[in-house]
A and B are shown apart, each in its own frame.
Chain A
Amino acid sequence: MKRILILISIIALIFTTGCWDMVEINQRLFPYSIGIDLNPGEGDPYIITISYPNIYSIGKNATQEDRVYVISTIATSLFQGANQLSTRLQYPFYLKHLRVVIFGEELSKNGHMVREILDGINRDYVINKKVRLLSAEGMARDVLMGALKAKRQQVIEGTLFSMLRNDKWTSRYTAQTLTDFIRDTDMGGVALMPRVAQHGEDLKIFGGCIFKNYQFIGHLGGPENRAVALIRGEVKEDLVDAPFNGAALSYAIIGAKVKRELTNKENSLGLKINIEVEGTLKEYIYEQYSVNRDDALVRKMEEAIAGVIKKEVDRTIKLLQKEFKADALGIGEYLYKFHPKLWKEVSQDWDEVFSDMDIEVAVKVHIRRRGLVE
């Protein structure tokens, strides 16, 4: 009797185990990038564009040719859009692997709507909070459609995402994740988002869009973004050119240290930023005799490069202070962390204080290595 009971329970186990939420992996669509635009016409406010890889094109026995599909709809929110689209597609979307969210230019200018969308993404249980944010030049939909045509850049995991992952090779743009974007805004009211645009056949990510309280107010070019990264101490590898003795000197930055120091003067706030750049010599003119054995020459080269970097940094600071009145440099964050008492006084009208601030920059360049030839 006992044996029969045990047998029955074992058999029962086999038939009763299972998963309520089981979905086969090929019965889901995994969007990699989503673009959101302001709807210029009548109806709901957003145009949601979703691009997802076509899993039937992967592998040796691929049955279909198109690797990525792009589809778009007009909806009241991102999730509404995904929902509406699943009535037009064979499977529902599953946003867990969403990598990139692109904001259209017109949408970016509306701070309220940007906040709506960020809240939705941040609130959702499924979406990974490391999703990268991008701001498009023009329509986000065009960028995603453009990704289809950019045959050279096509990778199955998503063109834009692969480009953003590679941001460690350049400082022309700095990939921004959702969490960091919100954190930056919390700290100083300003955050940067890299900019994407169609460039001929290809897509191009460059510079940064300044978002002040989640509203787009202007953009920085590639060199300016590098200057911001330098000041924030986030610079990664990049190249700087400097004219030197009638030839172009090319210098590879491999890292930088930043020290900030508050210099309080009467009535006005002063900040000294010391940037120390490390790097190697990339290119100089080929000489008959070995020239740069001499340390004095290297020092002159360092000065020349430092001059170029300083000029660029100074220009960027001035642009941010006077034109945008937006502290994208993380100075508010620095004050909040290291001079909290002072921050309490100035945080109320930080934008004004920032734009009147006296920022002094000192750049020091080290050429540590000079390559294979002397």
Chain B
Amino acid sequence: MGEENKLSSKQIRALVVSTAVGIGILTLPNRIAIANGNDGWITIILSGLLVIPIIMVMDRIFKMYPNKDFFTIGREVLGKWVFNIFLIIFFIYFIVLMSNIVRNLGEFIKAFLLETTPVEVLIISFVLVTSYIARDNIQIIGRAAYFIYPLILSFVIFLFLVILPEIDFTNVLPVFQSDFSKIPKGIEIAFFSYIGYEILLFALPYAEKKEDNLRASLTGLGIVILIYTLIFLLTLAKYGVHSLRRQTFPTLSLVKEVDLPGYFIENLDGLVMAFWVLIVFSTMAAFYYASGIVLSQLFNTKDHGLFILPIAPIVYIISLIPRNVITLYDSLGRYTNYLGFVTIVVMPFVIYFIGLFKTRRQNK
């Protein structure tokens, strides 16, 4: 592994941001508003904070077994068979997640940009494009993420600036009036909008400076929390809580509200969709790469590039199963959450605690 093939801490930060910010950002404000009303920003921040211990545990695992990658550690700690079962769940999770992403993307593009293009064509072309980058190493994915990361930031800042004349921040009031017993429900929704940080499991071993890993990942997470909270507050300030509950894609609808004088800037939805496809591309690329590498570990091959193209038809077929947009959320969305809970919450903790137990016993 040459020096130039390492991930810098900036790239790790970018990787967290660009993988976490994806399809969720378009629908999150609406679903949080339904669950928690005006106090949704509390849930968004809280569930972001919940991710911190998971990231810390991931970092700890790699500190406990330095210079080993995730798969070697997993096999060593859990044993080959148990770990393989986890890997299979991991693989299914990535497949369902990717199908969810491409189907959502297809539906959005069809609705807002290309009305008569069949959604199948959109999905196939997107999957093929991402398969190109997914064949490369994590370093390449990290660099791509580093390119797209400023795009995400500038998208949010730009949106904030152009929408500022249109909004009324008193709509955020009243605070702390919603039913606090509903916060767990909201956290369930918001927590899964942060998924994507599991790419750290594959990325951290290749970091240039291992001691900066935790700080870089947590900064990335902080930026994601900030972006989500800001988007939520902007949509809430524009629509008020009642209308926000009715907007299916509040972030895109917000863009449609932009109307700077003199016809200078209006009807920005096409432009924003184009930006957004790039953002989803970086999310998809990371997951695609991860699913390939999980498969190559299951089959004990050195190169994961072999498995990338065969995954494409699986993703394509699963993504077309949901009948419409509503069942898309109910089926693929929900399975993603369940599987995600097992793989990105349970698995790191299990590996960490068993590993801790084993290393302590060895030391004695």
Contact = CB atoms under 8 A, between A and B. Distances in A.
Interface of A: 19-21, 96-97, 122, 125, 128-130, 179, 182-183, 186-187, 336-338, 340-341
A182 B111 contact: no
Considering the complex of A and B, which 3 residue pairs feature the smallest CB-CB distances, nearest first? Answer: A186-B242, A340-B174, A337-B173
Contact of A130 (B111, B121, B177, B257): B257
Interface stretch (B51-59, B112-120, B322-330, B334-342): B112-120
12 contacts: A122-B246, A125-B111, A125-B112, A130-B257, A130-B259, A179-B238, A183-B242, A186-B242, A186-B243, A337-B171, A337-B173, A340-B174
> Which of B112, B121, B246 gathers the greatest number of chain A CB atoms within 10 Å?
B246
A97 B115 CA distance: 17
Nearest to B118: A20
Interface in B210-266: 238-240, 242-243, 246, 253, 256-257, 259, 266
B362 interface: no
Nearest to B177: A340
B240 A186 contact: yes
Contact of A20 (B117, B239, B246, B256): B117
- Count chain A CB atoms within 10 A of each CB in B116, B117, B177, B240 and give the residue with the most: B240
B117 A337 contact: no
B243 A338 contact: no
Given A128-B266, A129-B257, A182 B243 contact: yes
A179 B173 contact: no
Given A20-B121, A130-B257, A179 B239 contact: yes
Q: Which range contains the number of B residues in contact with the other chain? A: 20 to 34
B226 to A, nearest CB: 25
Contacts of A187: 240, 242
Contacts, number: 51
Interface in B150-164: none
A9 to B, nearest CB: 14
B242 A338 contact: no
A32 to B, nearest CB: 13
Contacts of A21: 113-117
A96 to B, nearest CB: 6
A130 B177 CA distance: 30
Given A20-B114, A20-B121, A125-B112, A337 B242 contact: no
Contacts of A340: 173-174, 177
B267 interface: yes
Nearest to A127: B256
B170 interface: yes
A183 B174 contact: no
A338 B173 contact: yes
A183 B257 contact: no
Given A21-B115, A125-B112, A129-B253, A337 B170 contact: yes
Contact of B239 (A96, A183, A336): A183
B111 A338 contact: no
B243 A183 contact: yes
A125 B238 CA distance: 18
A179 B117 contact: no
Contact of B256 (A128, A183, A337, A338): A128
Contact of A336 (B112, B174, B266, B267): B174
B268 to A, nearest CB: 10
Interface string B163-183: 000000011011001000000
A365 to B, nearest CB: 25
A338 B172 CA distance: 11
A20 B116 contact: yes
B256 A129 contact: yes
A21 B253 CA distance: 22
Contacts of B239: 179, 183
Which of B113, B114, B116, B257 neighbours the largest number of chain A CB atoms within 10 Å of its CB? B257
Contacts of B171: 337
Given A128-B267, A179-B239, A186-B243, 16 more contacts: A122-B246, A125-B112, A128-B256, A128-B266, A129-B253, A129-B257, A130-B257, A130-B259, A179-B238, A183-B240, A183-B243, A187-B242, A337-B170, A337-B171, A340-B174, A340-B177
A37 B173 CA distance: 38
Contact of A338 (B174, B238, B253, B259): B174
Contacts of B121: 20
A186 B213 CA distance: 47
A96 B256 CA distance: 10
Given A20-B121, A128-B266, A187-B242, A179 B174 contact: no
